[in-house]
């Protein structure tokens, strides 16, 4: 079993995904334990002084003006967790909660939060035991951290609230801790606040979206190539020299992918035959430009995510760990704007990729624009409806993605008696991006379904053959339960199989079995 050892520096995107989506264990390294202990010494020293220090000996937010006596501080830390665990709505997915917990632990291990080593160890133990606190959809404004989601996680550390065990059964958190030999945490000065004050939820969802979108963009290059081929389009527009004179790296990568998939095709280049046309339609000809722009958006979002992974987001933070005194400073690094912006940007890019894929699908089904294919790719058009309604489903998905592309990060609702008067809404941006990513997989799956059927119809007489990579994709899809040509049948199972085939990256794997690695 793989293990991630946490130090004081950041973690990699792959490590976050492996902990969130798998069973990767988490350990605290010696460097992290040293930093945790040193930071706690600073917090304890400040707590012993009469001067108020935010988060250590004061209230929170708009209540920060009250100095809290030493005998009330443990209660203060418990209370912030209990009161902030105020989420509502559906439960958030297990992988999101695990990413949230792991990323908060990563920041705690930086030594800038002042949390004791034993609290950090308890966080790691919870992850390693497979205990997942129940977190709800609504409760984060993406500023002062993902407060309610993180509070529900901290509540479970205290042995309160509800959590899901590794068996998938939800039980009181205290019972699950006891069943796994874990003890509830007694929080001290600064610790309750430190467990709540980060961009960890939105960042975790960004990292998982980037992981998914990398596969989907390559899959979309493959399905675009299959559609171009089935429409008897020309591959000449994919020539490297055409993309070199507009040097966007994502565009060149997408064009190169499509060119590799189409190598050896006997279907391309027939656009001047029975139905002459000077150029292919934009949805075919401009596929690399649109997908490439999305790829470059992914690259930018990845840069932002990596910077955030290297950050220690908390307020206040412990500084000068190496000096004799050390200090605690308030700051605004918990504001989620950098992450929120790219989450919204990715939703826009995903919607446009889905939009152009849907246009290619529609073209494959329209006998007036498909250059010889039967209406709706039906077996006996009129008696059979073929893929008519599969395209309706695809159009509905695209329409929803366009609505989800409306940015959340331009919204702000003041909170905490106007102390927190501008917020990022980054959590909301992340939640809608997850839906958009799911829908994109389905949209690409419908194009795959249509393009492979169109190719089978196009090559049925044996006169021309599709590219070897195209044939490999079609054969793998059929083996995975994505049906081919024939009379009308119950289509939902075919579409579901196509979605799994796309989501799991098997489109790319099948193409790469012929082409070698695709970008």
Max distance between CA atoms of the chain, in angstroms, equals: 89
Q: How many residues does the chain have?
A: 519
Residue 262 · residue 466 · CB < 8 Å: no
Nearest in space to 252 (alpha carbons), one of 286, 288, 215: 288
Helix runs in 180-239, H state only:
191-194, 200-230
**Region label for 181, one of left (φ > 0), alpha (ψ between -120 and 50) or beta (otherwise):** left
Q: Residue 58, Cα to own-chain centre: how many angstroms? A: 37
Is 341 known to be catalytic?
Answer: no
Place of tokens 């796309």: 502
Long-range pairs for 395-398: beta carbons < 8 A, 24 or more residues apart: 395/358, 395/362, 397/354, 397/439, 397/442, 397/443, 397/446, 398/351, 398/354, 398/355, 398/358, 398/439, 398/443
Determine the Cα–Cα distance for residues 122 and 191; give it in Å rounded to an integer.
13
Nearest in space to 20 (alpha carbons), one of 221, 206, 219: 206
State which H helix or E strand residue 292 sits in. Answer: helix 287-309
Nearest in space to 426 (alpha carbons), one of 204, 217, 214: 204
List phi, psi (to 5°) of 277.
-150, 140
What is the three-state SS of 432-487? HHHHHHHHHHHHHHHHHHHHHHHHHHHCCCCCCCCCHHHHHHHHHHHHCCCCCCCC
**Strand 132-133 to strand 162-164: parallel, antiparallel, or no bridges (unpaired)?**
antiparallel
Nearest in space to 190 (alpha carbons), one of 344, 390, 41: 41
Q: Residues 6 or more apart from 382 whose CB is under 8 A from it?
A: none
Determine the Cα–Cα distance for residues 485 and 466; give it in Å rounded to an integer.
16
Measured CA distances, 152 to 122, 197, 367, 457 (Å): 15, 13, 55, 54
Determine the Cα–Cα distance for residues 504 and 476; give it in Å rounded to an integer.
13
Q: Which residues are catalytic?
A: 54
């Amino acid at each position: 079993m793989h293990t991630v050892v946490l130090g004081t520096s950041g973690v990699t995107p792959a490590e976050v995904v492996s902990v969130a989506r798998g069973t990767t264990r988490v350990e605290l390294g010696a460097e992290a334990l040293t930093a945790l202990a040193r930071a706690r010494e600073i917090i304890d020293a400040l707590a012993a002084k009469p001067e108020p220090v935010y988060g250590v000996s004061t209230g929170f937010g708009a209540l920060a003006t009250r100095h809290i006596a030493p005998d009330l501080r443990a209660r203060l830390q418990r209370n912030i967790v209990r009161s902030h665990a105020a989420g509502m709505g559906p439960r958030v997915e297990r992988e999101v909660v695990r990413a949230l917990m792991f990323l908060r632990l990563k920041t705690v291990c930086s030594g800038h939060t002042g949390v004791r080593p034993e609290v950090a160890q308890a966080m790691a133990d919870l992850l390693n035991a497979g205990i997942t606190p129940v977190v709800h959809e609504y409760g984060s404004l993406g500023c002062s951290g993902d407060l309610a989601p993180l509070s529900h996680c901290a509540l479970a550390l205290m042995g309160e609230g509800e959590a899901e065990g590794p068996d998938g059964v939800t039980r009181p958190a205290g019972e699950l801790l006891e069943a796994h030999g874990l003890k509830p945490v007694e929080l001290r000065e600064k610790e309750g606040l430190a467990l709540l004050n980060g961009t960890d939820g939105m960042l975790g969802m960004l990292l998982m979206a980037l992981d998914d979108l990398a596969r989907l963009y390559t899959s979309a290059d493959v399905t675009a190539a299959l559609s171009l081929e089935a429409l008897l389009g020309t591959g000449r527009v994919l020539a490297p020299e055409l993309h070199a004179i507009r040097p966007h790296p994502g565009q060149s990568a997408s064009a190169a992918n499509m060119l590799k998939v189409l190598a050896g095709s006997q279907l391309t280049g027939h656009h001047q035959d029975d139905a002459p046309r000077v150029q292919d339609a934009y949805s075919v000809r401009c596929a690399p430009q649109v997908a490439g722009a999305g790829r470059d958006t992914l690259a930018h979002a990845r840069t932002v995510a990596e910077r955030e992974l290297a950050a220690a987001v908390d307020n206040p933070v412990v500084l000068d760990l190496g000096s004799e005194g050390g200090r605690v400073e308030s700051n605004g690094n918990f504001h989620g704007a950098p992450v929120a912006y790219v989450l919204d940007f990715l939703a826009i890019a995903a919607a446009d990729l889905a939009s152009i894929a849907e246009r290619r699908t529609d073209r494959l089904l329209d006998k007036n624009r498909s250059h010889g294919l039967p209406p709706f790719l039906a077996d006996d058009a009129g008696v059979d409806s073929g893929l008519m309604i599969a395209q309706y489903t695809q159009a509905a998905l695209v329409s929803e993605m366009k609505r989800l592309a409306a940015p959340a990060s331009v919204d702000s609702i003041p909170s905490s008696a106007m102390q927190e008067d501008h917020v990022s809404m980054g959590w909301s941006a992340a939640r809608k991006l997850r839906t958009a990513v799911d829908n994109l997989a389905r949209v690409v799956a419908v194009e795959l379904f249509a393009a492979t059927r169109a190719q089978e119809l196009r090559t049925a007489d044996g006169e021309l053959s599709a590219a070897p990579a195209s044939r490999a994709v079609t054969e793998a899809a059929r083996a995975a339960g994505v049906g081919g040509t024939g009379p009308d049948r119950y289509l939902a199972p075919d579409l579901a199989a196509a979605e799994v085939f796309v989501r799991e990256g098997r489109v790319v794997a099948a193409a790469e079995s012929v082409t070698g690695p695709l970008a």
